[in-house]
Amino acid sequence: MKVVEHPEAPLDVWLDEDGHRGAMEGTEGCRVRKAQASVALTSSGLEGFDWVLNPYRGCAHRCVYCYAPSVLGADRETWGCQVEARQNMPALLSRELRRKERGVVGISSVTDPYQPAERTYQLTRYCLEPLLRHDWPVCILTKSDLVVRDLDLLEAFSEREVGFTVTTLDEHQRRLLEPGAPPVARRLAAMRLLSDADVPTYAFIGPIYPTASIHELRSLVRKVHDAGARYILVDRLNLKSGVWLSVTKALSGDHALMTTARRRMFPPEGDEDFYGRAFRAVEDEARALDLPTSRA
């Protein structure tokens, strides 16, 4: 595989979905470059978090429905193709932990802390180490099974939780909408491993794909229950600026999926609301399994 040189970047390589040099599945690759952060912990407006920590800017999972570009004011066309590894983040964090008020740290809010670049840079792991020394509570959300690498640290926290975003059991749809992320089967296996190690886990079924079947959603709930999730968060597709265009581009080669998605997102008058039915299906199935569920 070709390594792409970029004279303005300290480091610039293509990484595949496992963090190795090469082409990432479903994309031309991701350019990773070193960067410096000015702050590690930022105040959180997200429920359940006091602080958020984003060791990377950008995300090579390249989920077409991601609304982080809208939040950050980033270019949606290049989002997922360029990632900044904030190499000074662990040192910044160590200093901030000594002077900021202790609280729950969400890892992460606008990136995936275990995206492919983490295999090389290990910034998330290096940030977990000072958080553990100071015994701050952490809540991780990821689409990657790479998180199991850090089980030795996670087991030692007095308060920790790991969430896995699991959106579909259909690999064809996953490749279209989350081209750089690991298969959901790997995420479920990682959830099971962490759960067996007494690390609390949860499932984020979000967004529910507008192409999902009710049967599939019920099956997905059973899968996360079997993997040890303690609860489920569920959400709909958020149509922030540019999201729908990205989704339609991704689905353009599959007429049936595109037709289904369009009808559900923009239903004709009189059609039943898809997300109302989808949420009820998830909640009903979870209730039968005694699995708490809430809407994000």
Q: Between the CA atoms of 154, 160, 163 and 164, what dihedral angle is there, to the nearest 10 degrees?
A: 0
Please give the tally of structural domains in the chain.
1
Q: Is residue 61 part of a domain?
A: yes
- pLDDT number for residue 3: 26
User: Domain for residue 41, yes or no?
Assistant: yes
Please state, in angstroms and as integers, the Cα–Cα distance from residue 274 to each residue in 47, 249, 250, following that order. Answer: 26, 21, 20
Q: Which domain does 219 fall in, by range? A: 35-295
Would you say residue 18 lies in a domain? no
In a domain, 144, yes or no: yes
The model's pTM? 0.89
Flag whether 24 is in a domain.
Answer: no
The label of the residue with tokens 């066309």 reads: 77
265 CB-near residues (< 8 Å, 6+ apart): 210, 237, 239, 244, 274
Q: Tell me what pLDDT residue 20 has.
A: 52
Decide if 266 is inside a domain: yes
> Which residues lie below 8 Å from residue 19, measured CB to CB, with a gap of 6+?
116, 117, 118, 119, 120, 146
pLDDT for 73: 76
Do the domain assignments include residue 10? no
Q: What is the pLDDT of residue 29?
A: 65
Backbone angles phi, psi at 234, to 5 degrees: -135, 145
CATH of the domain at 95: 3.20.20.70
Q: What residues of the chain score a pLDDT lower than 50?
A: 1-16, 22-28
Does residue 176 lie in a domain region?
Answer: yes
Report how many helices (DSSP H) and strands (DSSP E) the chain contains, helices first. 11, 12
